[in-house]
Amino acid sequence: MILERVLNEKRENNNMSLKISNTFSGKKEIFKSLNNNEIKIYTCGPTVYGPLHLGHARTAIAYDIMIGYFENYQNKKIFHVQNITDVGHIIGDADEGEDKLVKAAAERQIHPMELADIYIKDMWDGFDALNIRRPNLSPRATGHIIEMQDWCQELIKKGYAYEVEGDVYFDISKFKKYGKLSGNTPKKLMEGARIKKNPKKKNNADFALWKHADSSHIMQWTSPWGKGYPGWHIECSVMSQKYLGDQFDIHGGARELSFPHHENEIAQSTALTGKNPARYWVHTGVLSIGGRKMAKSLGNFITVQDALKKYSPQQIRWFLSSYHYSSDVDFSNKNVNSASQGLEKINNFIFSLKNLKMGKGSKNIEGILKDFNIKFKTVMDDDFNTPKAMSEIYTFVNKANSEMNLLSKYQRKKILKEFEKIDSVFKSFNLRGDNGITRNSEIQKLIDERNAARKSKNWEIADKIREKLASRNIEIFDQQDGTTIWKKN
């Protein structure tokens, strides 16, 4: 009943507002960009000390879908900044300890920047293979050290930060709204504290903006407080403000970043500029394998390159899209294969649209297509609900398949155009109409033998080869130009 009421409203007003879940308010809100024609987005990119894995892909594809929908269904221009963390990310997201990149580089006996370059290339290779839009800008933290020092000095002047023995800390007691994003208020952090008190800090939950480096630390820069390196949290605040301004539309990242990383970003950015840096804080769920979060730090991950040896980019994208962006994803062969079966059904439908005999026209298809269009937009406007959108696609395919033999050339082109638009968001369909089957030399050899038999009018051999292919679930279609195309059922 509720969905039907919403659909009726949608029919009356085809410009129904898009809603998005805002972690900061804890509510689903009507999305309104600061600029009517452009949406500014900042997402936290990976720390480049290891290969791109499916957990990274889960987050990147979620935002890629949002961007695709904004561009193609909302007619918005996107300016997307995704940072690259190449310094300052301490193991365990702590203030004290080893830098993840430095440790990984030492294990390989190469310079940290050499390691960063290796895995930045790996990241882009993975993005390109998965057909993920590259961001407009991808600034590296190490390219913004001077700006980070300027921020530290300004926060000290404003009374929000203090320096102790070459370290600069943010004083969370001075920022009254600390904990608004994650619920981890100073009081709760004090009550739950089980770690040893750091004598340098005024409050144990104060976080590092700048850290002193001894002579053995390979990554260090001259600063007003001696040699040192930046804290992880200030990096994103500095880069987002530099390229997107004091406030932008969406700040994204995996849910695990909401605390302490994003909470600390909000504190230091608001303290400096007087504005929450983002109007909407949007977080993706985590990807797990065997019930355990997939992460490089846990050694529990599947790299994108390894996943692509088993699954196509389209299968990976479609599988990840079958979960709402804010939901946790359980990766397993069974779940990927289940989603792939649905994708194959859609690709078979596209194959039929392109290759089966045309009809004189269906009286029902216009209404079916119009209703589908409204329902698809309605569920996508409701916080990018990709699982429901996929369900609507399956329903439409079932209905349209029942009209397939009646569909005219014009009607088929209209449906294909709609699916091209949908695929500008999902990037999963095989719009070539060949069912996306990789060329199989054995099958092609049988088809060539059958064509030779047909040419010599040896129909018995031709029929036996057709039956042999059918036993392998291969369906063949003889074309008017004498060629034969095939698909796997």
What is the per-residue pLDDT for 226? 97
Residue 290: pLDDT over 90: no
pLDDT band at 187 (very low <50, low <70, confident <90, very high): confident
Residue 214: pLDDT over 50: yes
**Percent above pLDDT 90 for the chain:** 73
Cα gap 396→392, rounded to integer Å:
6
Q: Is 284 exposed, middle or buried (0-12, 13-18, 19+ CB in 10 A)?
A: buried
What is the per-residue pLDDT for 192? 61
What is the per-residue pLDDT for 15? 40
Mean pLDDT for the stretch of residues 138-150: 98
Q: Which CATH class is domain 33-318?
A: alpha beta
What is the per-residue pLDDT for 484? 76
Residue 11: pLDDT over 70: no
Mean pLDDT for the stretch of residues 227-238: 96
pLDDT band at 3 (very low <50, low <70, confident <90, very high): low
Mean pLDDT for the stretch of residues 74-101: 87
Mean pLDDT for the stretch of residues 244-254: 98
What is the per-residue pLDDT for 13? 43
Mean pLDDT for the stretch of residues 313-326: 98
Residue 451: pLDDT over 90: no
Model pLDDT for residues 390-448, shown as the tens digit of each residue: 999 999 999 999 999 999 999 999 999 999 999 999 999 988 766 544 445 677 788 88
What is the per-residue pLDDT for 114? 96
pLDDT band at 58 (very low <50, low <70, confident <90, very high): very high
Residue, of 441 and 109, whose pLDDT is higher: 109
Give bridge partners of residue 207 from the DSSP assignment. Answer: 170
Residue 481: pLDDT over 80: no
Cα gap 315→343, rounded to integer Å:
7
Cα gap 427→420, rounded to integer Å:
9
Mean pLDDT for the stretch of residues 235-261: 98
What are the sequence ranges of the domains in the chain? 1-16+342-436, 33-318, 441-488
What is the per-residue pLDDT for 446? 87
Across 28-52, b (16+ Cβ under 10 Å) vs e yields: ebebebeeeeebbbbbbbbbbbbbb
Residue 232: pLDDT over 50: yes
* Tokens of residue 70, six digits: 């904004």
What is the per-residue pLDDT for 440? 52
pLDDT band at 110 (very low <50, low <70, confident <90, very high): very high
Chain centroid offset of residue 222 CA: 37
pLDDT band at 188 (very low <50, low <70, confident <90, very high): confident
